[in-house]
Structure 1
Amino acid sequence: MDPRAQDVLLCDLCETDPLQYCCERCGINLCSDCVSKHFSDSSKKHKIAPYHIHRKFTPKYSKCRKHADEDCKLYCENCHIPVCSTCALFGEHKGHDISDILEKLGSKKQRIQKDLEELEKKIYPRYKEISSAAQTEKVEVETNYGKLATSADQQGEVWHREVTAIVNKRKADIVETKKTHISLLDKHADEITHRMTEIYQAILEMKNILDTNDISLTSTYKSRNDEFNKLPPTIKVTLPSLSPPTINTETLNEMFGLLTSLSVTTVGSLLADPCHTATIDTGYNKLLSVSCLSEDQVWTRGNNETMKLLNLQSKLLTSIHTKSGRQPRDIAVTRDGNLVYTDTSNNTVNLIKNKKIRTVITLQGWGPRSVCCTAANHLLVTMVSDDVKQSKVVRYSGSTETQSIQFDDQSRPFYSSDYYNKYISENKNLDICVADWSARAVVVVNQSGKLRFRYTGHPSNTKQSFNPAGITTDSQSHILTADRDNNRIHILDQDGQFLRYIHCDLESPWGLCVDIRNNLFVAEYYTAKVKKIQYL
């Protein structure tokens, strides 16, 4: 047996754990777990204090500055300083609230003990995690800058190959042009040589006639001088030239690829204990969606045809009925503060501006489900085919379809096909995030529609089902999704890594949105309340 164990004083109740407290009224020593058991005996009044204060503890009092021979054994609650009995009874602290300094010391040390435990168990470990993450990031930075340098070398090699190919092509073109030029000159020289031969032959014939008395030769002579006086045309060929443009260094840099500037942002850390700061009673029987207009105003939609704008005090500011008189399928606020809603009764997407409803999209063969507004003020709409066999995400600029996202590179569908909503949000890095309830997954693709990842719940959780409902993102590119059946919110980083849960006594969380200050608004399905939560 370890001899040091003999020095450990044990709890009088359980006789197993080291004692940490004592009851001054009952004279019993207790461990932290047995304090509550001791309080269960209501037949006596109890007074719990840390053991080291009550046992084997010799207080070292400070001396009074005005009464040098007196110890400060009392504590002035008004002035928050130790005082002697003379000062408390007759001096400047007369009439103040006075307490025993040992009791005050006990409560102070309890607070210190609590702070110590929080520092050791919560705060310091988190700093260690942050420090470790910083070291890991430093290694990643070294690697990534190496990749950038390699990329520059590779780009240089590509340019060298392209320049060599262009030079070889130009040289080949020069050779072909030269051949054509020489051929033209050769042909022209041949024609002149042929005409010179004819002229020389005519000269010989005329000399022969002049030297003979043959009358028949002289009488048959015909002059060709007019013909020969018509000199052949002169061929003038302009030599080709190579006239490279002046190299614009700025343009060349842009063509090569510019290195973006270093962007440094302070990333808000997640609170250890997210706090619930406000509750909005919407008045619906069931609440399905919430969308932030500002820090203290939210649009909501429930299980009827009315969409409500409410403030943090649950005051109704505006209410609007759908054009069809049917329940809207989803709502979203645009970049300029207008409201958009989808309507499956007539397969439309509608914009509300100045309380006037305008249909901006009418679908054929497809029914709209959820909608969000992007950073570029486009609309992303999840939709299901009328035969409920296909699902897709479509991007609209105004009323024009500009992108459709449905299949991966192997022609497999990204999303499950059913009647349920697939809530959607665009992240700060322009990823498109969809909470697919039936697939039990959050599906994230990049802005080009290429799959980045699927999140199917925390890897360690194999017993509880994961059926994501609402989804939203924040300024730190966190992805937040509502886990209605388990009464919590999952927070992921932009690469799909689980960071933590938010509980905050949530009941059936469904719709989500985040305001410009990263406050989370949660629509509770059954209570029909919106809860505002601070988590950063």
Structure 2
Amino acid sequence: MKNHQSRAKRSKDFMENAFSLLSSPLQFTKITVPGASSINHISIDSSDNLWTHNSSKELLKVDRNGTVLQSLPIRSLYSGFYDTTEKGGLLFVDMTEQKVKKFGTDGNIDLLLTTEWEPYCIHFSRINGDIILVQFTRISEGRFLSKVTRHDSTGWTQVIEEDKKGRRLYENIPQYITENRNGDIWTSSSWGQVVVVDSSGHHRFNYAGQAFQSHFSPRGICTDILGQALVCNSWQINPSVHLLDQDGQFLRLLMTSEDGLRSPTGVCIDNKQNIYVGQQVSSTITVYKYLDLT
């Protein structure tokens, strides 16, 4: 165990020393998604192909040129309700049926699990292959209860909904969910803030933006090789991408309106640590580089 922990620490230290933050992100390409008017969510597979959606209720797998490689008709479009697996499949939630399904590379759709409440957004863990979900239920007109659940391959389920004092962690329905290299689960809601718990479900911190920005409406969220989080502030008065360290400390604004942002809503990172940003008012995904090997 000690040898394993020592190797993990050396690997972590190497990554932290190997990458440095560029003074400003470099935009190097744009990808136009056929038939899209907004890019609310993006997920990338191991071959660097992107899953996103168009305006005709279809999920689309596109390459770097925007060529459609696969498509999947769906009932409705909402925030982060799909994610890629390591082997190239696509997990997605069917809110109406309260089910999680997998769209395989062979075009088949398999049922993975049925949820207790309505599922909203999903993340496939790159650490252990678990499925991590946001679920919600309506308790009255305009009022909801939300929780995060983790599901492993044996059928075990972890439920995260309250802190140690019995207070509910999620005041609104989280719209996006991700996990960093430490196993911390990050959620974001445009109606509230970013909420972070550790792998055991213990509350770590909330993030509600910076005082120098008049509005903070967090949407798309992802994490990088350093455990840092990138959070889209979609508010059109001050659109931006916030960079936070793994403890929720604000590091800097990676991108703002000066970089062409108007309402960023979708974000993901590939294995080379390039950022893909989609916006609510555009059919284009913009790709940036923000880390450099030292």
TM-score of Structure 1 vs Structure 2, range by shorter chain: 0.7 to 0.9
- Displacement of 1:417 in angstroms is 3.1
Structure 1 counterpart of 2:203: 451
Aligned length: 273
Structure 1 counterpart of 2:32: 281
Considering Cα pairs closer than 8 Å and 6+ residues apart, tell me whether 1 or 2 has the greater RCO: 2
Gaps of 5+ in 1: 1-253
Instruction: From 129, 147, 168, give the equivalent of 1:392.
Output: 147
Structure 2 counterpart of 1:349: 100
Structure 2 counterpart of 1:438: 191
Q: Aligned pair 1:272/2:23, yes or no? A: yes
Q: Does structure 2 conserve the Cα–Cα contact (< 8 Å) formed by 1:482 and 1:489? A: yes
Instruction: From 250, 260, 264, give the equivalent of 1:505.
Output: 260
Paired residues for 1:370-385 under 5 Å: 370-374=121-125, 375-385=127-137
Letter in 2 for 1:466: F
Structure 2 counterpart of 1:327: 77
Displaced runs of 4+ in structure 1, greater than 6 A?
Answer: none
Rounded Cα–Cα distance in structure 1 between residues aligned with 2:180 and 2:286:
22
Letter in 2 for 1:400: G
Rounded Cα–Cα distance in structure 1 between residues aligned with 2:240 and 2:110:
36
Deviations 1:114-140 (A, max 9, x none): xxxxxxxxxxxxxxxxxxxxxxxxxxx
Instruction: From 88, 96, 102, give the equivalent of 1:337.
Output: 88
Letter in 2 for 1:475: I
Letter in 2 for 1:409: K
Letter in 2 for 1:279: K
Structure 2 counterpart of 1:299: 51
Deviations 1:39-92 (A, max 9, x none): xxxxxxxxxxxxxxxxxxxxxxxxxxxxxxxxxxxxxxxxxxxxxxxxxxxxxx
Rounded Cα–Cα distance in structure 2 between residues aligned with 1:350 and 1:259:
35
Instruction: From 120, 144, 160, give the equivalent of 1:369.
Output: 120
Structure 1 counterpart of 2:42: 290
Rounded Cα–Cα distance in structure 2 between residues aligned with 1:518 and 1:481:
15
Paired residues for 1:164-175 under 5 Å: none
Q: Aligned pair 1:484/2:245, yes or no? A: no
CA distance 1:302–1:368, shift in 2 (3 Å):
farther
Q: Does structure 1 conserve the Cα–Cα contact (< 8 Å) formed by 2:45 and 2:86? A: no
Structure 2 counterpart of 1:310: 62
What SS is found at the alignment partner of 2:42? strand
Rounded Cα–Cα distance in structure 2 between residues aligned with 1:356 and 1:259:
38
Rounded Cα–Cα distance in structure 2 between residues aligned with 1:295 and 1:356:
19
What SS is found at the alignment partner of 2:83? strand
Q: Does structure 1 conserve the Cα–Cα contact (< 8 Å) formed by 2:46 and 2:87? A: no
Letter in 1 for 2:177: I
- Displacement of 1:328 in angstroms is 6.0
Paired residues for 1:134-145 under 5 Å: none
Structure 1 counterpart of 2:179: 426
CA distance 1:523–1:295, shift in 2 (3 Å):
farther
Rounded Cα–Cα distance in structure 1 between residues aligned with 2:32 and 2:103:
23
Rounded Cα–Cα distance in structure 2 between residues aligned with 1:427 and 1:438:
23
- Displacement of 1:343 in angstroms is 1.8
Q: Does structure 2 conserve the Cα–Cα contact (< 8 Å) formed by 1:435 and 1:468? A: yes
- Displacement of 1:502 in angstroms is 2.0
CA distance 1:310–1:259, shift in 2 (3 Å):
closer
- Displacement of 1:455 in angstroms is 1.1
Q: Aligned pair 1:527/2:282, yes or no? A: yes
Instruction: From 158, 166, 170, give the equivalent of 1:403.
Output: 158
Gaps of 5+ in 2: none
CA distance 1:277–1:399, shift in 2 (3 Å):
farther
Rounded Cα–Cα distance in structure 2 between residues aligned with 1:479 and 1:400:
29
- Displacement of 1:295 in angstroms is 6.1
Where is the helix percentage greater, Structure 1 or Structure 2?
A: 1
- Displacement of 1:528 in angstroms is 2.3
Could you tell me the TM-score, scaled by structure 2's length?
A: 0.86
CA distance 1:445–1:506, shift in 2 (3 Å):
same
Rounded Cα–Cα distance in structure 1 between residues aligned with 2:76 and 2:209:
34
Rounded Cα–Cα distance in structure 1 between residues aligned with 2:92 and 2:3:
41
Rounded Cα–Cα distance in structure 2 between residues aligned with 1:259 and 1:510:
38
Rounded Cα–Cα distance in structure 2 between residues aligned with 1:400 and 1:385:
22
Rounded Cα–Cα distance in structure 2 between residues aligned with 1:340 and 1:259:
31
- Displacement of 1:294 in angstroms is 4.0
Rounded Cα–Cα distance in structure 2 between residues aligned with 1:384 and 1:409:
20
Rounded Cα–Cα distance in structure 1 between residues aligned with 2:172 and 2:207:
18
- Which structure has the larger Rg over C-alpha atoms? 1
What SS is found at the alignment partner of 2:20? coil
Q: Does structure 1 conserve the Cα–Cα contact (< 8 Å) formed by 2:43 and 2:51? A: yes
CA distance 1:476–1:326, shift in 2 (3 Å):
same
- Displacement of 1:259 in angstroms is 9.4
Deviates more, 1:263-272 or 1:396-405: 396-405
Where is the strand percentage greater, Structure 1 or Structure 2?
A: 2
Deviates more, 1:469-478 or 1:352-361: 352-361
CA distance 1:301–1:259, shift in 2 (3 Å):
closer
Rounded Cα–Cα distance in structure 2 between residues aligned with 1:399 and 1:319:
30
Structure 2 counterpart of 1:219: none
Work out the percentage of aligned pairs sharing the same amino acid. 29
Deviations 1:91-116 (A, max 9, x none): xxxxxxxxxxxxxxxxxxxxxxxxxx
Rounded Cα–Cα distance in structure 2 between residues aligned with 1:482 and 1:390:
24
Q: Does structure 2 conserve the Cα–Cα contact (< 8 Å) formed by 1:431 and 1:447? A: yes
Deviations 1:339-368 (A, max 9, x none): 01112222221101121111212224x111
Deviations 1:1-43 (A, max 9, x none): xxxxxxxxxxxxxxxxxxxxxxxxxxxxxxxxxxxxxxxxxxx
- Displacement of 1:327 in angstroms is 3.4
Q: Aligned pair 1:475/2:225, yes or no? A: yes
CA distance 1:260–1:294, shift in 2 (3 Å):
closer
